[in-house]
Amino acid sequence: MQISLAGWSVSGLRCPDITIDLAGKTGQPAQVALIQMPNGTGKTTTLELLRAALTGTASGWKPGDVRDMRRPGATNSHGEFRVTLLVNGRPLTFEMLFDLDEGTVAYRTTWPGDGGVRSRWEPPANVRQFLTPSFLSLFIFDGEFADKLMTESAHRADDAIGALCQLDLLENVKAVVEREWKRATSQGGPKSSGALEKLHSEREQLVAQQAKTMKARELAQNKLEQASAEVAALRKKIDERLGSVEETKSQHAEGLLALERANAAVASASGEVMGLIRMPLALHPQFASQLVDLKDSLDKLRLPETSSAQFFDDLVQDEECICGRAMTEAARQEIRKRAKGYLDYDEAGTINALKHDISRFVAPAEGEGRHEQLGHAITGLAKARRQQREAQQTLEVLAKKLIDAGDEELQAWQAARVKAEGECEAYTRSLAEIDAGEEDASGSALASLKNLAKRIKELDSKIAALTETRTLRDKTDVINRILAQAETGAREAIRAELVAQTNERLEQVLANDPLRVARIDKCLHLAHQTGASAGQKLSVGYTFLMSALSRGNNDFPLVVDSPAGPIDEGVRRNIGKLIPQLCSQFVGFTINTERPGFVPMLEKSSDDCLFLTLFRRTPGTARLERDLPAAGVTQTDTATLVADRDYFMNFDVTEEEDS
Residue range 560-593, pLDDT digits in tens: 888 876 667 777 787 788 788 778 899 999 988 8
User: Where is average pLDDT lowest: 316-320, 476-480, 624-628?
Assistant: 316-320
pLDDT reading at 284 higher than 90: no
Nearest to 430 by CA among 227, 230, 271: 227
- pLDDT tens-digit map of 334-369: 888 777 666 555 566 677 777 677 766 665 555 567
pLDDT of the residue at 655: 44
Least reliable range by pLDDT among 264-268, 362-366, 612-616 = 362-366
- For the chain, give the percent of residues with pLDDT over 90: 22
Choose among 642, 575, 579, 570: nearest CA to 612. 642
Mean pLDDT of 63-74: 92
Residue in 541, 539, 532, 529 with CA at minimum distance from that of residue 509:
539
Q: What is the pLDDT of residue 215?
A: 87
User: What is residue 256's predicted lDDT score, i.e. its pLDDT?
Assistant: 84
For the chain, percent of residues with pLDDT exceeding 70: 85
Mean predicted confidence (pLDDT) in 449-471:
81
Q: What is the DSSP letter of 629?
A: -
Q: Which range, 14-28, 136-150, 331-345, 518-532, has the best average confidence (pLDDT)?
A: 14-28
CA distance 489 to 478: 16
Provide DSSP, 147-179.
HHTT-GGG-HHHHHHHHHHTTHHHHHHHHHHHH
Where on the phi/psi map is residue 632: left (φ > 0), alpha (ψ -120 to 50), or beta? left
Q: CA-to-CA distance for 492 and 470, rounded, in angstroms?
A: 33
Q: Find out whether 585 and 4 touch, Cβ atoms under 8 Å.
A: yes
Q: Does residue 155 have a pLDDT over 70? A: no
pLDDT band at 283; cut points 50, 70, 90: confident
What are residue 519's DSSP bridge partners?
A: 525
* Structure confidence by residue, pLDDT tens digits, 166-206: 777 788 888 888 888 777 776 655 445 677 778 888 888 89
Least confident of 47-61, 151-165, 425-439, 529-543: 151-165
Task: Tell whether the model's pLDDT for residue 448 goes beyond 90.
Answer: no
Least confidently predicted of 23-37, 228-242, 260-274, 642-656: 642-656
Say if residues 599 and 590 touch (Cβ distance below 8 Å).
Answer: yes
- Could you tell me the CA-to-CA distances from 345 to 244, 303, 304, 308 in Å, in that order? 74, 10, 10, 6
**pTM confidence score:** 0.59
Q: In the predicted model, what is the mean pLDDT of residues 200-224?
A: 87
Ranges 156-170, 337-351, 469-483: which has the least confidence: 337-351
